[in-house]
Protein backbone atom coordinates (compact mmCIF):
# COMPACT_ATOMS: atom_id res chain seq x y z
CA UNK A 1 0.00 0.00 0.00
CA UNK A 2 1.50 3.33 -1.03
CA UNK A 3 1.79 6.31 1.26
CA UNK A 4 -0.58 9.24 0.90
CA UNK A 5 0.70 12.73 0.18
CA UNK A 6 -1.46 14.96 2.40
CA UNK A 7 -1.52 18.75 2.28
CA UNK A 8 -2.83 20.35 5.48
CA UNK A 9 -4.06 23.91 4.97
CA UNK A 10 -4.56 25.34 8.46
CA UNK A 11 -3.30 28.48 10.18
CA UNK A 12 -3.60 26.93 13.66
CA UNK A 13 -0.20 25.51 14.64
CA UNK A 14 -1.69 23.29 17.36
CA UNK A 15 -4.27 21.73 15.01
CA UNK A 16 -1.66 21.17 12.29
CA UNK A 17 0.62 19.49 14.84
CA UNK A 18 -2.23 17.28 16.12
CA UNK A 19 -3.01 16.18 12.56
CA UNK A 20 0.63 15.24 11.92
CA UNK A 21 0.91 13.44 15.26
CA UNK A 22 -2.34 11.55 14.72
CA UNK A 23 -1.09 10.26 11.39
CA UNK A 24 2.31 9.34 12.86
CA UNK A 25 0.70 7.58 15.84
CA UNK A 26 -1.53 5.57 13.54
CA UNK A 27 1.62 4.11 11.96
CA UNK A 28 0.26 4.96 8.55
CA UNK A 29 2.31 5.76 5.56
CA UNK A 30 1.55 9.43 5.07
CA UNK A 31 3.75 12.31 4.02
CA UNK A 32 2.26 15.47 5.47
CA UNK A 33 3.01 18.97 4.24
CA UNK A 34 1.44 22.06 5.77
CA UNK A 35 0.71 25.58 4.62
CA UNK A 36 -0.96 28.29 6.69
CA UNK A 37 -3.50 29.87 4.33
CA UNK A 38 -5.20 29.63 0.98
CA UNK A 39 -2.73 31.76 -0.95
CA UNK A 40 0.12 29.57 0.22
CA UNK A 41 -1.94 26.47 -0.64
CA UNK A 42 -2.49 27.64 -4.22
CA UNK A 43 1.22 28.43 -4.59
CA UNK A 44 1.98 24.93 -3.30
CA UNK A 45 -0.57 23.23 -5.56
CA UNK A 46 0.54 25.19 -8.63
CA UNK A 47 4.22 24.70 -7.72
CA UNK A 48 4.95 28.40 -7.72
CA UNK A 49 7.68 30.35 -5.93
CA UNK A 50 9.11 28.53 -2.92
CA UNK A 51 6.99 25.48 -3.82
CA UNK A 52 8.44 24.78 -7.27
CA UNK A 53 9.49 21.29 -6.13
CA UNK A 54 6.30 20.48 -4.18
CA UNK A 55 4.76 17.03 -4.45
CA UNK A 56 1.22 16.81 -5.74
CA UNK A 57 -0.99 15.84 -2.79
CA UNK A 58 -3.37 12.89 -2.90
CA UNK A 59 -5.59 14.59 -0.33
CA UNK A 60 -6.10 18.11 1.01
CA UNK A 61 -7.32 18.76 4.57
CA UNK A 62 -8.62 22.33 4.46
CA UNK A 63 -9.63 24.61 7.32
CA UNK A 64 -12.22 27.28 6.58
CA UNK A 65 -11.20 30.12 8.88
CA UNK A 66 -7.77 31.45 7.93
CA UNK A 67 -6.22 34.86 7.23
CA UNK A 68 -5.42 36.29 3.78
CA UNK A 69 -7.41 33.69 1.78
CA UNK A 70 -9.85 31.56 3.71
CA UNK A 71 -10.86 27.97 3.05
CA UNK A 72 -14.05 28.92 1.21
CA UNK A 73 -12.12 30.92 -1.40
CA UNK A 74 -9.39 28.28 -1.55
CA UNK A 75 -11.88 25.46 -2.15
CA UNK A 76 -13.58 27.44 -4.93
CA UNK A 77 -10.20 28.12 -6.57
CA UNK A 78 -9.10 24.48 -6.36
CA UNK A 79 -12.34 23.06 -7.72
CA UNK A 80 -12.49 25.56 -10.60
CA UNK A 81 -8.92 24.75 -11.72
CA UNK A 82 -8.85 21.91 -14.28
CA UNK A 83 -5.38 20.89 -13.12
CA UNK A 84 -6.37 20.64 -9.44
CA UNK A 85 -10.07 19.82 -9.20
CA UNK A 86 -9.61 16.03 -9.09
CA UNK A 87 -7.67 16.22 -5.80
CA UNK A 88 -10.02 15.26 -2.95
CA UNK A 89 -10.58 18.09 -0.48
CA UNK A 90 -11.86 17.36 3.03
CA UNK A 91 -12.99 20.40 4.96
CA UNK A 92 -11.68 19.94 8.51
CA UNK A 93 -12.85 22.90 10.56
CA UNK A 94 -14.35 23.99 13.88
CA UNK A 95 -17.43 25.41 12.16
CA UNK A 96 -20.57 23.33 12.30
CA UNK A 97 -22.66 26.13 10.79
CA UNK A 98 -25.20 24.97 8.22
CA UNK A 99 -24.27 27.72 5.71
CA UNK A 100 -20.58 26.67 5.84
CA UNK A 101 -21.50 23.02 5.30
CA UNK A 102 -23.86 23.80 2.40
CA UNK A 103 -21.39 26.20 0.76
CA UNK A 104 -18.55 23.69 1.04
CA UNK A 105 -20.53 20.98 -0.72
CA UNK A 106 -21.79 23.48 -3.33
CA UNK A 107 -18.13 24.24 -4.07
CA UNK A 108 -17.50 20.48 -4.47
CA UNK A 109 -15.82 19.56 -1.18
CA UNK A 110 -15.44 15.79 -1.02
CA UNK A 111 -16.33 15.72 2.69
CA UNK A 112 -17.04 18.10 5.55
CA UNK A 113 -15.76 17.16 9.02
CA UNK A 114 -16.15 19.27 12.15
CA UNK A 115 -13.02 19.17 14.31
CA UNK A 116 -13.77 17.41 17.59
CA UNK A 117 -12.64 19.26 20.72
CA UNK A 118 -11.03 16.42 22.66
CA UNK A 119 -7.54 15.31 21.70
CA UNK A 120 -8.44 11.61 21.47
CA UNK A 121 -11.52 12.32 19.35
CA UNK A 122 -9.55 14.69 17.12
CA UNK A 123 -6.82 12.09 16.52
CA UNK A 124 -9.40 9.37 15.88
CA UNK A 125 -11.17 11.54 13.32
CA UNK A 126 -7.94 12.29 11.45
CA UNK A 127 -7.01 8.60 11.43
CA UNK A 128 -10.45 7.68 10.04
CA UNK A 129 -10.11 10.22 7.22
CA UNK A 130 -6.66 8.86 6.41
CA UNK A 131 -7.80 5.26 6.56
CA UNK A 132 -10.75 5.92 4.26
CA UNK A 133 -8.64 7.65 1.59
CA UNK A 134 -5.78 5.16 1.92
CA UNK A 135 -7.67 1.86 2.22
CA UNK A 136 -11.22 2.34 0.94
CA UNK A 137 -11.32 5.07 -1.69
CA UNK A 138 -9.68 4.75 -5.08
CA UNK A 139 -7.76 7.92 -5.85
CA UNK A 140 -6.76 9.19 -9.28
CA UNK A 141 -3.18 8.55 -10.27
CA UNK A 142 -0.83 11.49 -10.89
CA UNK A 143 -1.56 11.52 -14.61
CA UNK A 144 -5.34 11.37 -14.05
CA UNK A 145 -5.57 14.20 -11.56
pTM of the full structure: 0.93
User: Which pLDDT value is given to residue 3?
Assistant: 76
Q: Does domain 4-134 have CATH number 3.90.280.10?
A: no
**Residue range 35-49, pLDDT digits in tens:** 999 999 999 999 999
Q: Where are the domains of the chain?
A: 4-134
SS3 of 29-91: the string is CEEEEEECCHHHHHHHHCCCHHHCCCCCCCEEEECCCCCCCCHHHHHHHHHCCCCCCCCCEEE
Phi and psi torsions of 52, nearest 5°: -60, -30
pLDDT tens-place string over residues 58-94: 999 999 999 889 999 999 999 999 999 999 999 999 9
Amino acid sequence: MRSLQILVVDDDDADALMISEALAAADTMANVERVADGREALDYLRREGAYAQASRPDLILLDLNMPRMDGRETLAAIKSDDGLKAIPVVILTTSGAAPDIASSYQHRANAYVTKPFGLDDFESTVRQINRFYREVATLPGPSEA
